Structure 1
Amino acid sequence: MSLFIIGDVHGCFHTYLKLMDHWEPKTETLIQLGDLVDRGNFSPLTIRLAFEVKKVFKNSVHFLRGNHEQMMIRYLQGEPNSEHWLENGGRETLEQFKAHKLDPYFYLGWLNTMPLSWENKNVLISHAGFSGVGSPFDIHNPDGVLWNRKPLIHMGKLQIIGHTPLTGTNPEYLEASNSWNIDTGAYKGNYLTGIKLKKDGTLIEVITIPTDPRDIEHKNTLPTGMVINNKGQNISLSN
């Protein structure tokens, strides 16, 4: 099976659907490298679609955890000092769940099962990549695979990452670390990128989809100004 790897979606559901049209389930393993949620207008629908696709295709589909999923998990679990998610897209995401009459807590168990990386003998995929600083799989490590902004180290495999949005149309390959960054800033109104590879890491195709305007314009808000807090209670956002 070849690989089809999708970058940071960030709630851009309609753009995500257009890119998913390029997936060939019979011949391609699908891997999404995290940050399905926040920023765009349709985070609940991206979560629901990913959840249903994983349920149907099971072992041929892998949704990795990004830092925005990690923030969402911590908030929904009521962990201390987790309210900063609200200022990083979480406030709007909770409003969207309420508007779509979906329960974010329904997906919490699944979010907790999201792995931090996927790899085979030749390819290594994670949200933010390997910096060589601290433990890469420590979810609290600012230089780990959820949060890293430092240059990547060469891991002896082709790395595919997202996390740090690029400004151009195309993903970026860096020879020094043998890595691709495929976050082309969908939520910024740029592009959502997918990259197709042979299982040995050979590039087959890069697909860039312009952000659908519906995904980012006229941010959805609720007239009531209410969201669900991390204790499952309604709270006002109007004050």
Structure 2
Amino acid sequence: MNQAFCVSDIHGCYDEFVALLKHWDVDNEQLILMGDYIDRGTKSKEVMAHIQQLCHTYKEQVIVLKGNHDAMLGEFVEDPRGTLAERFLRNGGQQTLASFIGERVAHLSREEQANYMETHYEQELAFLQSLPLYYEWGNVLFTHAGFQSKYTTWQESTEEHFLWIRQHYGKENGSGLRNVFGHTPTARIRSEEEKHGSHEEHHGIWISNDGKYIGIDGGCVFGGQLNGLRIKKDGRIVGIIQEAKQ
């Protein structure tokens, strides 16, 4: 297939995700999901179940990348009292645990919560752990957060870069590929631009002036929207869909 439909940063916004997927042309497009399926929103469990069903049904037609929030859940389960577990809980992890465990979560210790997840959701945890960090497809590089632009080749980027980097889009993209990324809400990118004279502020897809970076995180869980990007293998954008927070 020479066309893809891309979505990023669902964050438990299941209803918006399902609504957006109605625009996916199953017969003619790959589906590329770019990380952060859980945390902050209330329906992380439903989002995960739906993604796994999509993978089961459509096999290699569905590409699922790992986001930093997806990685943090594994860190919590591995060491529920560690520093990384604290980071998970500070950044919406409580909502994820409540989604998977239910009301009883409030009566469980961290160790009990981690054990419950490991016991009842081993498959989901293994699925998230196994996800790739990027997807190179024709003239396009899909990443969750981005890559280290200052390196000679983008492949030198570390897992930390792919999952967590900020403001890479402010540096020259020498990869030779058009980078589609999530992680940083587009309203935040536009806010940064406003400091330099631009006054446009909305949650739609953002494209750098040189066209080499495309940000698609509409900040749905923050009251924004879930964006869908249609893009050709040669890097041409052919459609933009948005699903407002319900």
The answer to whether the superposition gives a TM-score over 0.5 is yes
Query: Within the alignment, does 1:24 sit opposite 2:25 as a pair?
Result: yes
- Partner SS state of residue 89, structure 1: helix
8 A contact 1:44–1:100 mirrored in 2 = no
Moved more, 58-67 or 82-91: 82-91
What is the distance in 1 between the residues matched to 2:206 and 2:125? 33
Q: What are the superposed Cα offsets for residues 100-159 of structure 1, whole Å, 9 maximum, x if unpaired?
A: 9983333111111110001122010000112335775423x3xx0100112334121111
Runs of 5+ in structure 1 lacking a partner?
Answer: 213-239
Deviation at 1:169, TM superposition (A): 3.2
What is the distance in 2 between the residues matched to 1:137 and 1:44? 31
1:148 aligned residue:
165
Q: What are the superposed Cα offsets for residues 16-73 of structure 1, whole Å, 9 maximum, x if unpaired?
A: 0000111112110000110011111101110111011111111110110000001112
Query: Within the alignment, does 1:6 sit opposite 2:7 as a pair?
Result: yes
Matches within 5 A, 1:54-69: 54-69=55-70
8 A contact 1:118–1:124 mirrored in 2 = yes
C-alpha change, 1:151 and 1:204, in structure 2 (3 Å) is: same
TM-score with structure 2 length normalisation? 0.79
What is the distance in 2 between the residues matched to 1:44 and 1:123? 30
2:226 aligned residue:
192
1:127 aligned residue:
144
TM-score with structure 1 length normalisation? 0.81
What is the distance in 2 between the residues matched to 1:54 and 1:175? 35
- What percent of counterpart residues are identical? 30
1:106 aligned residue:
123
1:115 aligned residue:
132
What is the distance in 2 between the residues matched to 1:57 and 1:100? 33
Q: What are the superposed Cα offsets for residues 135-191 of structure 1, whole Å, 9 maximum, x if unpaired?
A: 75423x3xx010011233412111100101122131100034601000011001111
What is the distance in 2 between the residues matched to 1:39 and 1:116? 21
Counterpart of 1:97 in structure 2: which amino acid?
F
What is the distance in 2 between the residues matched to 1:36 and 1:108? 12
Query: Within the alignment, does 1:157 sit opposite 2:191 as a pair?
Result: no
C-alpha change, 1:122 and 1:100, in structure 2 (3 Å) is: farther
- Partner SS state of residue 164, structure 2: coil
- Partner SS state of residue 163, structure 2: coil
Moved more, 160-169 or 149-158: 149-158
Counterpart of 1:90 in structure 2: which amino acid?
G
Moved more, 200-209 or 161-170: 161-170
Cα RMSD over matched residues? Answer: 2.0
Normalized per residue, which structure has more helix? 2
Residue correspondences, number: 209
